[in-house]
Amino acid sequence: MSKQEVILCRNFGNDLINAIKKCPHDRLFVLTDENTHKHCLLNEKNIFPKGEIFQEIIIGADDVNKTLETLASVWQALSQQGASRHSLLINLGGGMVTDLGGFAASTFKRGISYINIPTTLLSMVDASVGGKTGINFNGLKNEIGVFSPASSVLIETAFLQTLDTQNILSGFAEMLKHGLISTQAHLDELLAFDIEHIDYEALKQMVGRSVAVKERIVEEDPKEHGIRKALNLGHTIGHAFESLALAEGRPILHGYAVAWGLVCELYLSYIKVGFPKELMRTVIQFIKENYGTFSFTCKQYEQLYELMTHDKKNSNGIINFTLLKDVGDICLNQTADKDTLFEVFDFFRECMGE
């Protein structure tokens, strides 16, 4: 898998022009959702190279549209508007847009070039970087997709000022994960960050450090055979929470699911491999104060367990976890039986106030 270029923008207009020039193309397409069409693209048309004409494809916003039907509509729009295998697609949006748009580009005519311009904190530090693309399918998160990196990822943190607190927090959960799998210093600055009174310049610097954590891991293991599994911390149980919420018609933001998954998987790390108890409590308290809780009852334990059995990281039907002995001390390919996981669910409901 080729390495993608990740650019922490200093001059967004110039950086975008240079990224487009590196991808010779016959036609240029821009994929947006209803929100980024309104709040981002309409304010950014003047930054395209003079004379560069593009055609916009607009899809519905939010993860409920990360579907096979939406994917087919993007393929259809590309086909009807004359896209060839030499065309270029720019994905301007959050993780849903970059995931789905990347998959659409990677499969249309066996693959066209694409550029990601993430507009949410979640997509900047996670979804747009690393080459994973895909859609939800059959009630499961990211069930269908391919590894296929963007030609470039342009990170312009000015877009973050258009986000509400919930969407900032959604991305911040992935940053918290990056802190846990990297260094105590990075984790400490994240836990000390004032989300209610955001210093956007400080946030920009932390975004750069967070992206660097993911880049280093992806470069070492692009297709998740080894250390890239570290990026799954919090996601095995988090994705189950997310799928349950979607099935019950109460969708939750991905980052909130990851945060609640971190609570569970840090506790699992504590009981399985000895993660420090006080540090676990410190991180959990931060999550409880900022993210609240996810409501479920003991009657839903079996359903959550069943959802976890479909996780892509599993092998031979055994649920696979990434756990931590300490910050940056990563334990891959860990397992837990059903009774242990039910104990984890009990712990979550007790400590998070259920």
**CATH number of domain containing 328:** 1.20.1090.10
Whether residues 154 and 260 share a domain: the answer is: no
From the list 10, 50, 110, 299, the catalytic residue is 110
Mean pLDDT calculated for residue range 133-157 = 92
From the list 91, 136, 209, 224, the catalytic residue is 224
What six digits make up the tokens of 131? Answer: 């080459």
CATH label of the domain that carries residue 126: 3.40.50.1970
Whether residues 250 and 144 share a domain: the answer is: no
For residue 28, give the H/E element and its range.
strand 28-33
Per the annotation, the verdict on 214 as an active-site residue is yes
Whether residues 24 and 156 share a domain: the answer is: yes
List b or e across 104-122, with b for residues whose CB sees 16 or more CB atoms inside 10 angstroms: bbbbbeeebbbbbbbbbbb
222 has pLDDT over 60: yes
pLDDT interval class at 188 (50, 70, 90): very high
Q: Is residue 38 part of a domain?
A: yes
Per the annotation, the verdict on 132 as an active-site residue is yes
The closest alpha carbon to 171, from 128, 130, 126, 129, belongs to: 126
51 has pLDDT over 80: no
50 has pLDDT over 80: no
Whether residues 183 and 328 share a domain: the answer is: yes
84 has pLDDT over 80: yes
Whether residues 115 and 131 share a domain: the answer is: yes
Amino acid at 313: K
Q: Is residue 127 part of a domain?
A: yes
DSSP state, 47? G
- What's the whole-number average pLDDT of the chain? 92
Per the annotation, the verdict on 25 as an active-site residue is no
Tell me how far apart the alpha carbons of residues 226 and 176 are, in angstroms, rounded to a whole number.
21
From the list 214, 229, 272, 313, the catalytic residue is 214
Per the annotation, the verdict on 44 as an active-site residue is no
**Dihedrals phi, psi of 106, to nearest 5 degrees:** -70, -20
Per the annotation, the verdict on 229 as an active-site residue is no
From the list 44, 156, 174, 242, the catalytic residue is 174
Whether residues 170 and 158 share a domain: the answer is: no
Distances (CA, A) of 41 to 108, 114, 208, 224, 296: 23, 17, 23, 34, 39
Distances (CA, A) of 306 to 137, 190, 315, 344: 16, 33, 15, 15
From the list 66, 232, 272, 313, the catalytic residue is 232
Whether residues 288 and 146 share a domain: the answer is: no
Whether residues 171 and 312 share a domain: the answer is: yes
What pLDDT score was predicted for residue 307?
A: 93
Whether residues 121 and 182 share a domain: the answer is: no
Per the annotation, the verdict on 254 as an active-site residue is yes
For tokens 């990056």, name the residue: 178
What pLDDT score was predicted for residue 38?
A: 86
Whether residues 178 and 157 share a domain: the answer is: no
Q: Is residue 271 part of a domain?
A: yes
Q: Is residue 217 part of a domain?
A: no
Select the highest-mean-pLDDT range: 9-23, 30-44, 268-282: 268-282
Residue ending a domain, choose from 146, 162, 178: 162
From the list 37, 132, 141, 272, the catalytic residue is 132
Whether residues 12 and 27 share a domain: the answer is: yes
pLDDT interval class at 15 (50, 70, 90): very high
Whether residues 32 and 78 share a domain: the answer is: yes
> Which residue has better confidence, 52 or 353?
353
Amino acid at 142: N
What pLDDT score was predicted for residue 42?
A: 61
Residue 129 sits in which domain range? 5-162
47 has pLDDT over 80: no
Q: Is residue 28 part of a domain?
A: yes
Per the annotation, the verdict on 224 as an active-site residue is yes
77 has pLDDT over 90: yes
Domain count, the chain: 2
List b or e across 125-163, with b for residues whose CB sees 16 or more CB atoms inside 10 angstroms: bbbbbbbbbbbbeeebbbeebebbbbbbbbbbbebbeeb
Per the annotation, the verdict on 235 as an active-site residue is yes
The tens digit of pLDDT for each residue in 298-313 reads 999 999 999 999 887 7
101 has pLDDT over 60: yes
What pLDDT score was predicted for residue 45?
A: 57
Q: Is residue 198 part of a domain?
A: no
